[in-house]
Structure 1
Amino acid sequence: MGPDRYTLLNLTTSGIFGGLGHHPEIEETYAYLATELQKIGLVYLHLLDHASLGAPAVPAATMAAIRARFTNTLILAGGYHTATGIEAALRGPADLVAIGRPFIGNPDLVERLRDGVALTEPNPATFYAAAPSGWAEGYTDYPLADDQAA
């Protein structure tokens, strides 16, 4: 790591994948990690909250402990699909909010959020599929809001 390289880290603080779950030392663990990441000059920390997918929400105390110790750019991700949710995250600990799934199904997401237009639900079955020749389903075929109104 050095001034000519950017280093980042993506953490999931509340995931349940692979039998992971909450443990009594979670706040202490992430507070220590945030302190050490700040010391080495991590450019940004990306925190993923899987609560919108059924995992436990990141405890507020854990988030506060991370933010207090990591003062570089903090990006939050996970279930942000409304203007209200994004604004709340930015008023809280986040410097930036990452948006994934809503952008897949809504190539005009910014306009939809601005205008209060309903979002198209993306199809997860097409997220990571290798498209056979001639198959155009998934990332490139979601309609714009204007197209749906016509």
Structure 2
Amino acid sequence: MPVRTALDMLHANRASAGQVPNALMAQYYAQRANPATGAGLIVTEATQISPEGQGYLDTPGLFNSAQVAGWRRVTDAVHAEGGRIVVQLWHVGRISHVSLQPGGVAPLSSTATPAKTKTFIAGGFAEVSTPRALRTDEIPGVVAQYRRAAELAIEAGFDGVEVHGANGYLIEQFLRDTINDRTDAYGGSIENRARFLIEVMQAVTGAIGGGRTGLRLSPVTPANDAGIDSQAQQLFEHVGRQLAPLKLAFVHVVEGATGGPRDNAPFDYAALRVAFGAPWMVNNGYTRTMALDAVASGGADLVAFGKPFISNPDLGRRLRENAPLNELRPALLYGGGAEGYTDYPFLGAAA
């Protein structure tokens, strides 16, 4: 059975001024778009839904007309190759720095407690800034930003969106009791902590339909000082049951610690899959053998690859043929130009 692959793009930090996608990015995605050699589905790098949603230097946005035009160049290039592409909608919350925020103000979060982690700004890595907790009356405005970004995604030619609810960013800052210290309707109980995510997903699917909306989750990753929720299984199964009626296009789950051990904490992913009842995409350290087994056994409908797809634009073909992979050049992952981005070689002509 062939591997059903998705490209899960890491931050490349190569957007142009104004957080606008550019021609180099269009070339990158187009290289990986042909379903015969590349990805069956492309999930873009995380893309901020508002100026306040930015947490890293030179990441792309999707909240104004210039960004829509830039992304249209990307989607047109992908579709010309026969590919399909969804944009990952992102708000970093407290994983940001005042130098990246409009007016140099504090980042927004569920909490006023800073994360013990770093981000990338002009000049290099720096400790994230102390956030400001969103007022209850401000939360509907952020939900509306997700909805508007989804509408702009369709205008930009995307086949759909993936809401980024993973890796300790804003949505998880509401979800997890290790971060959320609120005493309003968005804090305390599982039902309250899940409220923000549920409202976001209802808004997005209300705008573009559940069939064009995916969700990324990472139930037990400690990424970005997220900690592990004291009732992680109950929390995420509650989310699944609440969102199941939306009939999502897919759920994209990071198993274990993002980019790290897959067994860092116990979690029943099969039970979560039942709760959602949606097409299931798995992620985190999958090899060819693991991916084949996951799909053949029915454990997953789709397997996402990140770093291997960066260094292998024809990863789909290489996996099918069990061909050697290009080695990644980690020093060139973030920022820069074509080197380490669009200059990785393809396999030679098929025999």
State whether TM-score is above 0.5.
Answer: yes
Counterpart contact for 2:220–2:267, Cα < 8 Å: no
2:292 alignment partner in structure 1: 87
Residue 69 (structure 1) aligns with: 275
CA distance, structure 2, for counterparts of residue 58 and residue 93 of structure 1: 20
Match of residue 346 from structure 2: 144
2-side partners of 1:110 and 1:97: how far apart?
Answer: 11
Structure 2 equivalent of residue 14 of structure 1: 220
Amino acid at match of 2:244: Q
- Deviation for aligned residue 1:58: 7.1
Distance 2:310 2:299 in 1: 25
Residue range with higher mean Cα deviation, 58-67 or 114-123 = 58-67
- Of the three residues 43, 46, 59, the one matched with 2:249 is 43
Residues 130-141 of structure 1: pairs in structure 2 closer than 5 A: 130-131=336-337, 136-141=338-343
Q: 1:54 to 1:142 in 2, by over 3 A?
A: same
Aligned residues: 142
Counterpart AA for 2:346: L
CA distance in 2, matches of 1:20, 1:56: 16
**Counterpart position of 1:113:** 319
2-side partners of 1:13 and 1:99: how far apart? 18
In our comparison, the structure showing a higher alpha carbon Rg is 2
Please name the residue that 2:81 is paired with: none
Q: Deviations over 1:97-124 (max 9, x none)?
A: 1122111111222332233322222223
Residues 252 and 283 in structure 2, CA contact (< 8 A), matched pair in contact too: yes
Please say if residues 13 and 58 of structure 1, whose CA atoms lie closer than 8 Å, have aligned partners that are also in contact. no
Indicate the SS of the match to 2:268.
Answer: helix
1:29 is matched with which residue?
235
Cα RMSD of the aligned pairs, angstroms, is: 2.6
Instruction: Output the CA distance in 2 between the equivalents of 1:12 and 1:145.
Output: 33
For structure 1, the residue ranges without an aligned partner over 5 or more in a row are none
Counterpart position of 1:127: 333
Does the Cα contact within 8 Å between 1:14 and 1:56 map onto a contact in 2? no
SS, match of residue 76 in structure 1: strand
Q: TM-score, normalised by structure 2?
A: 0.36
Give the SS at the match of 1:33: helix
Check conservation: 1:15, 1:56, Cα contact below 8 A. Answer: no
